[in-house]
Amino acid sequence: MSISHKPNLRPSAQSLGHEAVQLLHSLAQFGSVPEGGITRLVYTPAWREAQAWLEREMTSRGLLTFWDDVGNLYGRSEPASPGGRRILTGSHVDTVRQGGCFDGAAGIVASLIAVSWLRATYGPPNLPLDVVSFAEEEGVRFPVAFWGSSNALAAAEGREPTPLPRVLDEDGIDIERAIRDANLPPASRRSRQPVGAYVELHVEQGSKLEEAGVDIGVVTAIVGQRRYWVEVVGRAGHAGTMSMQARVDAMACACSLLNELLERAAAIPDLTLTAGQWHVEPNAVNVIPGRVTFSLDVRHSSERQLDLFACEIERVCSNITAERRASVRLTSWMNQAPVPMNPSIIALISSAGNDAGWSSMPVLSGAGHDAQTFAGSVPSGMIFVPSRGGVSHAPDEFTSSDALGRGIEVLIRVLYALAYETYLP
């Protein structure tokens, strides 16, 4: 597939990249912490200042700004004649604690540059073209990940905002008061117009593009995630008096079954398995662990593969605990299906990459993104740009100016096809 009408879509990727770096640098001042990195949690003063700064940037570039009920900020390139489904592009403005200045922010800045470049070069689009800065994605201050994009989608589909969950932050402030304190502007009816397509640029947060020496990642799917607690119960006892043969050591058993699972996981292409959280009882230096509980996070793009691995986990847990005379309880507490991106948008991004002369390859996203909120009901796609060393959610997260510029050039071409040529899947 190729973009039918090819105007002089030749912005300089280098200058787009320079502009992106300048904007990212300015945005990074909001929430920058002395320990290093950026902590910009939803509805905090740093978050509010960042949104206000973005609103000023949007206005200065001739975009019409508006807000919705939960503090998502939009900057619209208005079409010559009103109406039509809007094309939405952007990412999230919140960060993790001591995060970097690219996760989320790169997508907002890229969208802002792309939409204003198109407007300055070709005038008004044929469909409303909205840059969005989503209020929240990370689920750090409140356990409400994708709060921004899910409410943006609800508004676009004419639904009421999600009822405010009864959740507190670590200072005991509930989300309702946090919203009140953020003093948000009133919601605009523009946020309730239907969305025709959603495109998000994001840093890869992995190292596949860098390893392959490829410029652009065309995201084919966001992987599904399943999470479990594995509770292994053995028998606590004295570290010095109980012989190795007589013990039922819950930690030894947990380690052995985890090792077995890690080996099996490594043999399945693209599957990831992580045991990141551990609780040991009684957790004392001179006592044999009596009970060990740990988390399992399993990700893959195929639901069937996740089902198969779920059976594998059950089998390994019961076999190994039986061998070691321990007992086990497995609890599944999260099951998020894989989210494929829209095939036409995937093709559009690939073709835009080729036309621009940048190398591209299909990639899976191992992390969740706002695009997965939209993908179920709106044609959606994602453009990845390389992350140095695959580092993210850390102060040394980095993507070069050139890499950003190439991604923005591709985004420009995709948005041109969608909003100017009204190519809607």
Q: Smallest distance, Å, CB 340 to Zn ion? A: 19
Q: Which stretch binds Zn ion (CB under 5 A): 100-108, 222-230, 296-304, 401-409?
A: 100-108
Q: Which stretch binds Zn ion (CB under 5 A): 102-110, 261-269, 315-323, 342-350?
A: 102-110
Q: Which stretch binds Zn ion (CB under 5 A): 99-107, 257-265, 339-347, 407-415?
A: 99-107
The answer to whether residue 68 forms part of the interface with Zn ion (CB under 5 A) is no
The answer to whether residue 69 forms part of the interface with Zn ion (CB under 5 A) is no
Rounded to whole angstroms, the Cα distance separating 116 from 112 reads: 6
The answer to whether residue 206 forms part of the interface with Zn ion (CB under 5 A) is no
Q: Which stretch binds Zn ion (CB under 5 A): 104-112, 167-175, 265-273, 284-292?
A: 104-112
CA-based Rg of the chain, rounded to a whole angstrom? 24
User: Is the Cβ–Cβ distance between 407 and 110 less than 8 Å?
Assistant: yes
The answer to whether residue 103 forms part of the interface with Zn ion (CB under 5 A) is yes
Q: Smallest distance, Å, CB 105 to Zn ion? A: 9
Q: Smallest distance, Å, CB 200 to Zn ion? A: 9
User: Is the Cβ–Cβ distance between 256 and 188 less than 8 Å?
Assistant: no
Q: Smallest distance, Å, CB 143 to Zn ion? A: 17
Residue whose CB is less far from Zn ion, 148 or 196? 148
| 3-class SS shares of the chain: helix, strand, coil, % to 5 | 35, 25, 40
The answer to whether residue 200 forms part of the interface with Zn ion (CB under 5 A) is no
Cis amide prior to 125 (ω within 30 degrees): no
| 299, 303, 304, 306: CA torsion to nearest 10 | 30
Q: Which residues contact 54 (CB under 8 A, 6 or more apart)?
A: 27, 73, 75, 93, 108, 112, 133
Contacts of the segment 318-325: beta carbons below 8 A, 24+ positions apart: 320/253, 320/256, 320/257, 320/260, 321/232, 321/253, 321/257, 324/234, 324/248, 324/249, 324/252, 324/253, 324/256, 325/234, 325/248
Residue whose CB is less far from Zn ion, 69 or 137? 137
The answer to whether residue 405 forms part of the interface with Zn ion (CB under 5 A) is no
The answer to whether residue 196 forms part of the interface with Zn ion (CB under 5 A) is no
The answer to whether residue 104 forms part of the interface with Zn ion (CB under 5 A) is yes
Q: Of 389, 354, 413, 380, which Cα lies nearest the Cα of 7?
A: 413
Residue whose CB is less far from Zn ion, 84 or 390? 390
Q: Smallest distance, Å, CB 239 to Zn ion? A: 45
Residue whose CB is less far from Zn ion, 19 or 103? 103
Which positions lie near Zn ion, rule CB under 5 A? Answer: 103-104
